[in-house]
Amino acid sequence: MSILPVPDTAIIVVAAGSGTRLDGGAPKAFVGIDAHSILRHALDGVFAASPAQVIVVAPPGYEGDAETELREAAGDRVDLGAVVTGGATRQESVAAGLAALWGDVTTVLVHDAARALTPPAVIDAVARAAKDGGVIPTLPVVDTLKKVDADVIAAAVDRAELAAAQTPQGFPRDLLVAAYATARAAGTEYTDDAALFAAAGHRVRVVAGSERGFKITTPADLERARHLLAASAPLLPRVGMGTDVHAFGGDGSLWLAGLEWPGEQALSGHSDGDAVAHAIVDALLGAAGLGDIGQHFGTAHPEYAGAHAEVFLARTRELLAAAGFAIGNVSVQFQGNRPRFSARRGEAERMLSGVLGAPVTVTATTTDGLGFPGRGEGISVMAVALVVPVAPSV
Ligand code: CTP
Ligand code: MG
């Protein structure tokens, strides 16, 4: 194990609020954005920044859950992390975090877990600037602002003089600890750490914040965070496979690969027995994570009894489109002695590709007399499909 230098910076992540305005069924920090909670995303940002002591301030009773999130975000930096219990107000929660600072720490950042998507670059910029005094990240105000008295405008406000405050807010440790002691003795509550620090007579400077540093407060904010994450997630293609087997023995003529084969023995099945089409449907549904053919077209759906490939494939294409997937291509092969396929390959591929709106290629092989396809009892098919998630609109 390598011995790392003890960091001179600490980041207190306050996560002890109840999240009344979000109303997410759990304390706000533990509400999920995607597969991960608000707290986990906030900690991912913190651990992606330069090494610092990380103190998570958890709601009473949620210390164990906070510890789990901390361990997962920290990876091999877990020794830098600790969880403490928060208080009834944000200010008390910060005070609980300050009490857990390591001796070597000279700079303290206080960060809202609720600003879960704050870029690590903002955290690093604040940490650097805080060596010289109080500093907060801000954004310019874009709205035109008015001072109002009840329902009447009392004055115009020059927005050039204003900035919207974010976190993390950074301070020299000694000055911040002293300012907190003064506020506690006076029993004064401040809206943020910068206000408390300024009230103690210190200057606070600003650095550029980020649009991604918004605070998740309401359900609409949570939606915004979800959209931002979905938009930045890599859109990887997905593969799926499907197989199908049908025995010869149905009535009428053979239907295979979307074509009718007059004079060839039919396959048996709930529908027309087109094992090539059925394998394609399973490959596509599997690739998109949409279940399987039985679920969408099985005996519980009598409207598909006797239906041909066109109907199955057109519906499958619709299901994928509704789930946000485009079809890349499908490759399918069947094993069987009959029909002799090569003469109609082009016709079958054009038909299947037309319905799916993507290239479908079909190959056929015999099995040298082996197994049930070789004995002429039926047909065995395997299909592989590639689908591509379509970028969500933000
Ligand atoms: N916070 C805290 N301890 C408190 C209150 C708030 O640690 N007693 C933290 C929250 O967890 C949040 C940050 O301070 O990360 C900003 O507070 P806010 O957005 O108001 O969160 P909540 O208080 O949880 O939400 P609400 O006011 O809607 O209940
Ligand atoms: Mg609050």
Is 394 inside a domain boundary?
Answer: no
Q: Is the pLDDT of residue 311 over 80?
A: yes
Is 219 inside a domain boundary?
Answer: yes
User: From the CA of 13, which ligand is nearest?
Assistant: 1
Here the CATH number for the domain that contains residue 196 is 3.90.550.10
Is 4 inside a domain boundary?
Answer: no
Could you tell me if 247 and 207 lie in one domain? no
Could you tell me if 14 and 133 lie in one domain? yes
Could you tell me if 221 and 244 lie in one domain? no
To test the pocket of ligand 1, the residue of 28, 56, 192 to mutate (highest count of ligand atoms within 8 Å of its CB) is 28
Pick the range with the lowest mean pLDDT from 34-48, 59-73, 140-154: 140-154
* Mean pLDDT value across residues 128-151: 95
Could you tell me if 227 and 251 lie in one domain? no
> Tens digit of pLDDT for each residue in 207-218?
999 999 999 999
Atom of ligand 1 nearest to the CA of 17: 24
Could you tell me if 222 and 242 lie in one domain? no
The DSSP string of 142-164 is: -S-EEEEETTEEEEEE-GGG-EE
* Mean pLDDT value across residues 353-381: 97
Pick the range with the lowest mean pLDDT from 63-67, 247-251, 335-339: 247-251
Atom of ligand 1 nearest to the CA of 216: 19
* Mean pLDDT value across residues 238-254: 94
Could you tell me if 228 and 245 lie in one domain? no
Could you tell me if 222 and 251 lie in one domain? no
Q: Is the pLDDT of residue 150 over 70?
A: yes
Is 40 inside a domain boundary?
Answer: yes
Is 1 inside a domain boundary?
Answer: no
Could you tell me if 251 and 215 lie in one domain? no
CB 159 within 8 A of CB 141: yes
To test the pocket of ligand 1, the residue of 112, 166, 216, 222 to mutate (highest count of ligand atoms within 8 Å of its CB) is 112
CA of 193 to the centre of ligand 1 (A): 13
> Residue 182: its pLDDT value, please?
97
Is 19 inside a domain boundary?
Answer: yes
User: Is 317 near ligand 1, meaning CB less than 6 Å away?
Assistant: no
To test the pocket of ligand 1, the residue of 90, 94, 118, 166 to mutate (highest count of ligand atoms within 8 Å of its CB) is 90
To test the pocket of ligand 1, the residue of 11, 18, 91, 110 to mutate (highest count of ligand atoms within 8 Å of its CB) is 18
Provide the mean pLDDT of the chain.
Answer: 94
Percent of the chain with pLDDT over 70: 98
Q: Is the pLDDT of residue 359 over 70?
A: yes
Distances (CA, A) of 100 to 47, 241, 259, 389: 18, 54, 74, 46
For ligand 1, atom 18, name the residue with the nearest CA: 17
Q: Which is it for strands 9-14 and 107-112: parallel, antiparallel or unpaired? A: parallel
Report the candidate in 369, 368, 365, 370 with the shortest Cα–Cα distance to residue 381: 365
Atom of ligand 1 nearest to the CA of 22: 28
CA of 18 to the centre of ligand 2 (A): 7
Q: Which is it for strands 145-149 and 238-256: parallel, antiparallel or unpaired? A: unpaired
The DSSP string of 298-367 is: STT-GGGTT--HHHHHHHHHHHHHHTTEEEEEEEEEEE-S-S--GGGHHHHHHHHHHHHTS-EEEEEE--
| Number of folded domains that form the chain | 2
> Tens digit of pLDDT for each residue in 195-207?
999 999 999 999 9
Is 3 inside a domain boundary?
Answer: no
Could you tell me if 215 and 111 lie in one domain? yes
> Tens digit of pLDDT for each residue in 153-209?
999 999 989 999 999 999 999 999 999 999 999 999 999 999 999 999 999 999 999
User: Is this prediction's pTM over 0.95?
Assistant: no
> Residue 391: its pLDDT value, please?
65
Q: Decide: helix, strand or coil at residue 182.
A: helix
Atom of ligand 1 nearest to the CA of 14: 7
Here the CATH number for the domain that contains residue 280 is 3.30.1330.50
Please identify, among 183, 207, 232, the residue that sits at the C-terminal boundary of a domain.
Answer: 232
Q: Is the pLDDT of residue 394 over 50?
A: no
CA of 63 to the centre of ligand 1 (A): 16
Comparison of pLDDT for 123 and 273, the residue scoring more? 123
For ligand 1, atom 8, name the residue with the nearest CA: 89
- Confidence band of 235 (pLDDT split at 50, 70, 90): confident
Domain that holds residue 328: 238-389
User: Is 19 near ligand 1, meaning CB less than 6 Å away?
Assistant: yes
User: Is 222 near ligand 1, meaning CB less than 6 Å away?
Assistant: no
User: Is 86 near ligand 1, meaning CB less than 6 Å away?
Assistant: yes
CA of 358 to the centre of ligand 1 (A): 50
Strand spans (E) along the chain: 9-14, 53-58, 81-85, 107-112, 134-140, 145-149, 152-157, 163-165, 169-172, 204-208, 238-256, 259-267, 325-335, 360-365, 378-389
Could you tell me if 15 and 75 lie in one domain? yes
Distances (CA, A) of 292 to 241, 295, 297, 300: 11, 6, 9, 13
Q: Is the pLDDT of residue 393 over 50?
A: no
Q: Say how far apart CA 187 and CA 385 lie, in whole Å.
A: 66
User: Is 114 near ligand 1, meaning CB less than 6 Å away?
Assistant: yes
For ligand 1, atom 1, name the residue with the nearest CA: 17
CA of 307 to the centre of ligand 1 (A): 58
Neighbours of ion ligand 2 (CB under 5 A): 17
Please identify, among 209, 232, 255, the residue that sits at the C-terminal boundary of a domain.
Answer: 232
Q: Say how far apart CA 380 and CA 267 lie, in whole Å.
A: 11
Residue 140 carries which DSSP code?
E
Report the candidate in 294, 289, 243 with the shortest Cα–Cα distance to residue 271: 294
Q: How far is CA 174 from the centre of its chain?
A: 40
Please identify, among 232, 252, 271, the residue that sits at the C-terminal boundary of a domain.
Answer: 232
Could you tell me if 180 and 282 lie in one domain? no
Is 70 inside a domain boundary?
Answer: yes
Could you tell me if 227 and 268 lie in one domain? no
